[in-house]
């Protein structure tokens, strides 16, 4: 059955399961090979055109246009289709003939003389003819499609698509929409036909772009076509993905994505990104995967094209430029592919004979890619250098053994010939020789080091000897090369190729190899003359520094020199000849004076250690022998003093510890014995003192450990509530001062201080001190003269302390507890002792002055606060209490400003508590307010500024005290000084005071008048007179008229008459009359 697409996607199965990426078919290649190889670039225009177009292919028997036309041919089965494909002029003639035949046949088939019947038959036949002709003259899609395909297949220059499109639409009766659909259908059929084979071809890309441009299909329409194809292709892809033939579906999808990418690339950047992203979403591909597919196909295909160009002698880089743009290869990728191809070409060319023989092929390659001489030379060098280096390395490696003159000439000739065969420029030769020489030398060093690791020292030495053969032979070979100058040869050895190679290896291994070579270079007691220069050169090759060289050399020569000294001493041959022999040996071994002295000191030390181990303390015989050795070796006492100190240290330290015993104190007798022992051991006083300090520090550590243990025990007892009554009673004094007591560790720490004092560990340093004295002059009353008295000031230094031995927090806590105990103990003798040792304890424990001051301030502040709180409970501080506080300040070296601040705070707290108690009562007691004022005045506390008492509260306290003093008669019109005193104490302004006084007098007077009227109404005249007298007292301060309605005029007159009966003073009567408003 013939194939008919009918605008539907029909999947085409690929017979070949494997998809290949080839732009060139075998038939197109055969066409190219048919041209002569000698055809010039200018005469190959036709071949290049055919190469780009490639309409015929072995993969398709017919072109896409012919395949589509065959479909049209299979569609022409009936006479209607045949007529519809005729041109419009022929179809009009057919329509006229049909119309005429129908009318004539109606006359002939209906022979009626009735005119109406004939007319009716004619009308019917003409209607039928019209219907048939309209069917023939309807739109002809197949004809239009065939016409469009003919246009596509023809290369019409200056083609006018719009005019042609109008003609086709008019000729085949197509609307604008029909014509557009037909164009898109043809484009999709081309894509579908190209997808039948998964290989990529240039002509397919070109054909699709040609159709797009030729038929003026917009980018949006192209995008829609590809989306429709992609959806159908994705269905096939998902179905076949898990089948065995999925490679074909994957290849087809990859080809479709690549073709779409190339067609979309003709659009704008944004248009391309939009369309390709739509395509990715259909196949669920990431942007990276899509890019990889397109890049991989472009890269591999372009490489195959270049290969075909070269194999078929097709010259013309212009064609490659066109193909490069067509398949999406950028300039960087293009150059990379060119370099890869050239590299593979040279590798194939050289791999057979290891030389370049086919110069024509090289020139041909250079012409195809239009390479400059410099660039071509660089590519060639990159390929030939490894080959030349391999040959060079192999020949240089042969120079590590003993060779004759002829062999050196042969190596030289091989290097020259390989340079010419591989076209190596002279500028590259020097660096290649340097690298090869360096690698050969490194291999020799590696081989020597490997032999050292497996203890093949003889083999390692022989491998090291090859280094010098290599230098000698290679120098002769390189000097014979005509393309190297003398300076070039020197530079090869001096630029790091032959020297300073030891840095590439482990320094310890290189040092061992160098030491082995020196050892083998010794003959009796000196280095062989031939090997001295080798050692110097090997040191430079292995990057051995001068110091390392001296250390290695000394390590070898020291045992030799040392053994000779010991043999002489053992024989007791202390003659001048033996001494001269040692001097000669020192010169022969090239030992400097300082190092030879060190060796002699080591020998002396070994004998001293041996005698000390045998007898612990040197005997008289041991001392005599040591003096003989010292004299024979020409040693000074300064050379061996440290040795005696070091060797005898354990014995002297043990003697000190035994002298201390359990008590820890060294008596005078023991000190004398230790001094005799020191002299016998020939130790310095400085070293003996240092060892005494070390033993003392160990003892101090034990004493402090005991103090810490005792402190922790008592703290645990306290936490468990098991402290005995004696501890509690002994801490009463401290409790009274407000500090926590009962954790007494003073006795243990006092033992530590006693140990320090009795052993006189501290160092006394005396310094002169000038003290000024005032002397009264005789006969001159009140006149004095100042004289200076010279005194001696003693400072103490503490060379041993516990700094760093214990945790700092524990040390500081113990010191703090000791200070607390100083205040806590109630026995004056014990308290005095503790305070006297306080200045020593800090330095002994290794506490810094700043830390001591901080502890003193904290504890002293606590003592100050609690003592002041007790002292101020009575409202003031007397002289004895002030003196006690001064003593605490001086003892603890507290800052004066800090102490003043503590006293000020204590006073403020006392006044503040008193104020709180006053306001806590329901009714304020005037006497308490007066007491508060006097206390604040005495203690120097400002209520408002220091205690932040509000102005209203001060005014309230002021009024209470004023009212009380007015009633008591202490404040009168004649005596108002107390008002100013109270005002100043409470910090009130004059305006506030006036306002308070006015309110107080007015309120009081009104109250007294009410009480007086009430008493009058009860006929209690005496009570009424008392209230009037009180009112008069307030009126004396500020006469006011009492405005009140609670007393009638007659009652006021009665009160006045009553007061007049007992009072005769006119001023009081006048005042009362004013106040009663009479």
C-alpha 267/C-alpha 263 separation (Å) is 8
Would you call 327 exposed, middle or buried from its count of C-beta atoms within 10 A (0-12, 13-18, 19+)?
Answer: buried
Handedness of CA 347, 350, 351, 352 (dihedral sign): positive
CB-based contact 31:49 (threshold 8 Å)? no
C-alpha 19/C-alpha 250 separation (Å) is 9
Residue found by looking up tokens 């020192």 in the block: 586
383 or 353, which is more confident? Answer: 383
How distant, in Å, are the alpha carbons of 717, 769, 789, 796, 839 from that of 856? 27, 28, 33, 21, 11
**1026 CB contacts (<8 Å, ≥6 apart)?**
none
Crossing angle of helices 246-264 and 287-311, in 10° steps, is: 90
Average the pLDDT over 180-205 and give the result: 82
Instruction: Using the predicted structure, report yes or no on whether residue 468 has a pLDDT greater than 80.
Output: yes
Specify the pLDDT at position 603: 92
Instruction: Using the predicted structure, report yes or no on whether residue 946 has a pLDDT greater than 60.
Output: yes
Lowest mean pLDDT among 360-364, 783-787, 1025-1029: 783-787
In terms of Cα–Cα distance, which of 557, 491, 569, 565 is closest to 525? 557
Tens digit of each residue's pLDDT (9 = 90 or more) over 954-987: 888 888 887 887 777 777 666 777 777 888 888 8
**358 CB contacts (<8 Å, ≥6 apart)?**
349
Tens digit of each residue's pLDDT (9 = 90 or more) over 901-945: 787 888 888 888 888 888 888 888 888 888 888 888 877 888 888
Tens digit of each residue's pLDDT (9 = 90 or more) over 43-70: 333 333 333 333 333 344 567 777 776 6
Kindly tell me the number of DSSP H helices and DSSP E strands found in the chain: 47, 4
How distant, in Å, are the alpha carbons of 739, 781, 815, 879, 886 from that of 896? 21, 37, 23, 18, 10
CB-based contact 380:346 (threshold 8 Å)? yes
SS3 of 534-578: HHHHHHHHCCCCHHHHHHHHHHHHHHHHHHHHHHHHHCCCCCHHH
Structural domains of the chain in order of their starting residue, each with its CATH number: 26-38+41-59+197-347 (no CATH), 372-544 (no CATH), 885-988 (no CATH), 991-1078 (1.20.58)
Give me 429's structure tokens.
């030769």
Instruction: Kindly report the number of other CB atoms within 10 A of residue 189's CB atom.
Output: 20
Specify the pLDDT at position 822: 82
C-alpha 320/C-alpha 326 separation (Å) is 10
Tens digit of each residue's pLDDT (9 = 90 or more) over 367-399: 767 777 777 777 778 778 888 888 888 888 888
820 or 320, which is more confident? Answer: 820
What's the half-sphere exposure (Cβ side, CA atoms, 13 Å) at 652? 29
Tens digit of each residue's pLDDT (9 = 90 or more) over 719-734: 776 554 444 444 434 4
Interior CA angle at 124 toward 123 and 128, to 5°? 115
Instruction: Kindly report the number of other CB atoms within 10 A of residue 671's CB atom.
Output: 13
Average the pLDDT over 1005-1011 and give the result: 80
C-alpha 242/C-alpha 618 separation (Å) is 98
The gap from C-alpha 831 to its chain's centroid, in whole angstroms, comes to 59
SS3 of 183-227: HHHHHHHHHHHHCCCCCCCHHHHHHHHHHHHHCCCCHHHHHHHHH
Interior CA angle at 377 toward 374 and 382, to 5°? 130
**739 CB contacts (<8 Å, ≥6 apart)?**
820, 823, 824, 859, 862, 863, 866
CA dihedral 704, 708, 709, 712 (to 10 degrees): 170
Tens digit of each residue's pLDDT (9 = 90 or more) over 633-690: 888 988 989 998 888 888 898 898 888 888 888 888 888 888 888 888 888 999 999 9
C-alpha 241/C-alpha 284 separation (Å) is 14
Lowest mean pLDDT among 437-441, 486-490, 1037-1041: 1037-1041
In terms of Cα–Cα distance, which of 600, 516, 530, 594 is closest to 563? 600
Lowest mean pLDDT among 208-222, 607-621, 821-835: 821-835
Q: Is 775 helix (H, G, I), strand (E, B) or coil?
A: strand
Specify the pLDDT at position 728: 42
**24 CB contacts (<8 Å, ≥6 apart)?**
54, 201, 304, 305, 308
Handedness of CA 314, 317, 318, 323 (dihedral sign): positive
C-alpha 437/C-alpha 434 separation (Å) is 5
Across 689-698, 755-764, 914-923, 1066-1075, which has the greatest mean pLDDT? 689-698
Specify the pLDDT at position 35: 30
Give me 670's structure tokens.
């023991």
Lowest mean pLDDT among 210-214, 467-471, 628-632: 210-214
Whole-number average pLDDT of the chain: 76
SS3 content of the chain, % helix, strand, coil (to 5): 70, 5, 25
Specify the pLDDT at position 107: 53
Tens digit of each residue's pLDDT (9 = 90 or more) over 205-236: 888 888 888 778 888 888 888 888 888 888 88
Tens digit of each residue's pLDDT (9 = 90 or more) over 70-126: 665 554 444 454 554 555 555 556 555 655 665 555 555 555 555 556 556 566 656
Rounded percentage of the chain residues whose pLDDT exceeds 70: 77
What separation, in Å, do the N-terminal and C-terminal C-alpha atoms of the chain show?
Answer: 146
Instruction: Using the predicted structure, report yes or no on whether residue 481 has a pLDDT greater than 60.
Output: yes
Q: 284 phi and psi, to 5 degrees? A: 60, 40
Stretch (H or E) spanning 512: helix 507-521
In terms of Cα–Cα distance, which of 521, 635, 511 is closest to 589? 521
Instruction: Using the predicted structure, report yes or no on whether residue 530 has a pLDDT greater than 80.
Output: no
Lowest mean pLDDT among 345-349, 516-520, 663-667, 926-930: 345-349
Specify the pLDDT at position 601: 92
**Residue-wise burial string across 778-811, b where 16 or more C-beta atoms lie within 10 A, e elsewhere:** eeeeeeeeeeeeeeeeeeeeeebbbeeebeeeeb
C-alpha 749/C-alpha 822 separation (Å) is 12
| Predicted TM-score (pTM) above 0.75 | no
C-alpha 536/C-alpha 236 separation (Å) is 80
Lowest mean pLDDT among 89-98, 559-568, 600-609, 735-744: 735-744
Specify the pLDDT at position 41: 28
CB-based contact 429:483 (threshold 8 Å)? yes
Residue found by looking up tokens 């004056």 in the block: 828
CB-based contact 884:867 (threshold 8 Å)? yes
**762 CB contacts (<8 Å, ≥6 apart)?**
756, 796, 797, 798, 799, 840
Residues paired with 763 in a beta bridge: 797
How distant, in Å, are the alpha carbons of 817, 913, 1020 from that of 1015? 72, 42, 5
Specify the pLDDT at position 38: 31
How distant, in Å, are the alpha carbons of 307, 868, 890 from that of 933? 116, 20, 33
Instruction: Kindly report the number of other CB atoms within 10 A of residue 700's CB atom.
Output: 21
Residues paired with 786 in a beta bridge: 774
CB-based contact 205:169 (threshold 8 Å)? no
DSSP letters spanning 470-504: HHHHHHHHHHH-TTS-HHHHHHHHHTTSSSS-GGG
C-alpha 305/C-alpha 205 separation (Å) is 15
Tens digit of each residue's pLDDT (9 = 90 or more) over 409-419: 888 888 888 88
CB-based contact 23:16 (threshold 8 Å)? no
Average the pLDDT over 163-189 and give the result: 78
């Amino acid at each position: 059955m013939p194939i008919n697409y009918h605008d539907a996607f029909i999947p085409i199965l690929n017979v070949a399961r494997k998809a290949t990426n080839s732009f060139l078919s075998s038939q197109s290649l055969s066409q190219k090979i048919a041209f002569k190889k000698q055809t010039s670039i200018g005469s190959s225009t036709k071949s290049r055109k055919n190469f780009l177009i490639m309409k015929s292919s072995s993969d398709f028997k017919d072109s896409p246009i012919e395949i589509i036309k065959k479909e049209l041919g299979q569609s022409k089965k009936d006479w209607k289709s045949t007529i519809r494909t005729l041109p419009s002029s022929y179809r009009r003639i057919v329509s006229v003939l049909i119309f005429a035949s129908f009318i004539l046949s109606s006359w002939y088939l209906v022979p009626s003389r009735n005119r109406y019947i004939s007319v009716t038959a004619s009308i019917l036949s003409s209607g039928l003819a019209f219907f048939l002709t309209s069917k023939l003259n309807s739109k002809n899609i197949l004809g239009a499609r065939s016409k469009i395909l003919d246009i596509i297949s023809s290369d019409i220059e200056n083609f006018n698509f719009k005019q042609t499109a109008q003609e086709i639409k008019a000729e085949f009766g197509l609307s604008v929409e029909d014509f557009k659909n037909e164009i898109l259908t043809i484009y999709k059929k081309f894509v579908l036909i190209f997808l039948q084979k998964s290989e990529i071809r240039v002509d397919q890309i070109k054909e699709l772009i040609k159709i797009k441009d030729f038929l003026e299909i917009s980018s949006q329409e192209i995008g829609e076509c590809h989306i429709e194809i992609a959806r159908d292709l994705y269905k096939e892809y998902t179905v076949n993905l898990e089948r065995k033939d999925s490679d074909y579906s994957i290849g087809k999808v990859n080809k479709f994505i690549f073709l779409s990418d190339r067609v979309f690339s003709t659009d704008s950047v944004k248009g391309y990104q939009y369309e390709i992203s739509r395509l990715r979403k259909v196949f669920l591909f990431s942007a990276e995967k899509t890019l990889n597919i397109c890049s991989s196909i472009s890269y591999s295909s372009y490489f195959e094209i270049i290969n075909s160009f070269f194999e078929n002698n097709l010259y013309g880089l212009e064609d490659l430029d066109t193909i490069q743009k067509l398949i999406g290869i950028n300039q960087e990728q293009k150059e990379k592919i060119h370099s890869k191809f050239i590299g593979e070409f040279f590798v194939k060319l050289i791999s057979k004979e290891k030389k370049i023989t086919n110069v024509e092929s090289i020139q041909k390659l250079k012409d195809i890619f239009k390479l400059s001489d410099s660039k071509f030379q660089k590519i060639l060098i990159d390929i030939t250098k490894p080959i030349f280096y391999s040959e060079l390395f192999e020949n240089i490696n042969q120079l590590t053994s003993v060779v004759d003159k002829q062999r050196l000439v042969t190596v030289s000739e091989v290097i020259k010939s390989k340079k010419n065969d591989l076209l190596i420029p002279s500028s590259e030769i020097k660096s290649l020789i340097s690298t090869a020489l360096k690698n050969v030398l490194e291999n020799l060093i590696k081989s020597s080091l490997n032999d050292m690791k497996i203890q093949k020292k003889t083999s390692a030495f022989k491998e090291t000897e090859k280094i010098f053969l290599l230098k000698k032979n290679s120098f002769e070979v390189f000097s014979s090369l005509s393309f190297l100058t003398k300076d070039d040869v020197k530079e090869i050895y001096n630029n790091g190729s032959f020297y300073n190679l030891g840095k590439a290896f482990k320094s310890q291994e290189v040092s061992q190899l160098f030491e082995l070579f020196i050892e083998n270079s010794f003959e009796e007691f000196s280095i062989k003359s031939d090997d001295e220069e080798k050692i110097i050169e090997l040191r430079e090759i292995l990057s051995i520094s001068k110091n390392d060289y001296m250390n290695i050399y000394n390590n070898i020569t020291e045992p030799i020199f040392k053994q000779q000294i010991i043999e002489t001493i053992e024989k007791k041959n202390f003659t001048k000849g033996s001494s001269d022999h040692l001097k000669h040996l020192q010169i022969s071994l090239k030992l400097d004076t300082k190092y030879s002295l060190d060796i002699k000191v080591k020998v002396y030390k070994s004998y001293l250690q041996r005698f000390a181990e045998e007898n612990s303390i040197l005997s008289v015989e041991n001392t005599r022998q040591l003096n003989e050795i010292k004299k024979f070796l020409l040693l000074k006492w300064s050379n061996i003093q440290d040795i005696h100190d070091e060797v005898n240290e354990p014995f002297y330290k043990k003697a000190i510890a035994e002298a201390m015993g359990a008590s820890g104190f060294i008596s005078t007798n023991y000190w004398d014995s230790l001094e005799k022992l020191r002299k016998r051991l020939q130790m310095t006083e400085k070293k003996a003192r240092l060892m005494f300090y070390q033993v003392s520090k160990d003892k101090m550590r034990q004493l402090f450990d005991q103090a810490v243990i005792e402190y922790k025990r008592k703290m645990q007892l306290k936490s468990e509530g098991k402290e005995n009554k004696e501890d509690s009673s002994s801490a009463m004094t401290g409790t009274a001062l407000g500090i926590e007591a009962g954790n007494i560790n003073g006795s243990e720490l006092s033992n530590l201080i006693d140990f320090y004092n009795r052993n006189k560990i501290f160092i006394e340093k005396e310094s002169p001190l000038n003290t000024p004295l005032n002397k009264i002059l005789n006969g001159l009353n009140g006149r004095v003269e100042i004289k200076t008295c010279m005194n001696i000031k003693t400072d103490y230094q503490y060379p041993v302390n516990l700094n760093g031995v214990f945790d700092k927090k524990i040390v500081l806590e113990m010191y703090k507890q000791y200070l607390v105990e100083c205040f806590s103990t109630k026995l004056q003798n014990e308290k005095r002792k503790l305070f006297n040792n306080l200045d020593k304890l800090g330095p002994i424990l290794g506490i810094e002055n700043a830390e001591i001051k901080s502890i003193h301030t904290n504890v002293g502040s606590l003592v100050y606060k609690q003592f002041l709180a007790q002292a101020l409970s009575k409202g003031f501080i007397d002289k004895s209490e002030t003196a006690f506080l001064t003593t605490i300040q001086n003892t603890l070296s507290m800052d004066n400003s800090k102490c003043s601040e503590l006293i000020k705070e204590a006073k403020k707290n006392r006044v503040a508590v008193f104020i709180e108690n006053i306001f806590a009562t329901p009714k304020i007691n005037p006497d308490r307010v007066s007491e508060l004022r006097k206390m604040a005045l005495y203690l120097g506390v400002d209520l408002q500024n220091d205690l932040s008492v509000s102005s209203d509260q001060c005014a309230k306290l002021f009024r209470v005290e004023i009212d009380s003093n007015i009633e008591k008669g202490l404040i009168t019109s004649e005596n108002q000084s107390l008002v100013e005193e109270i005002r100043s104490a409470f910090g009130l302004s004059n305006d506030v005071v006036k306002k308070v006084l006015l309110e107080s007098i007015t309120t009081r007077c009104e109250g007294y008048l009410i009480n007086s009227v009430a008493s009058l109404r009860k006929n209690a005249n005496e009570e009424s007179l008392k209230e009037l007298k009180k009112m008069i007292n307030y009126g004396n301060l500020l006469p006011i008229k009492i405005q009140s309605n609670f007393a009638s005029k007659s009652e006021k007159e009665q009160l006045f008459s009553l007061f007049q009966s007992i009072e005769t003073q006119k001023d009081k009567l006048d005042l009362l009359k004013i106040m009663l408003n009479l």
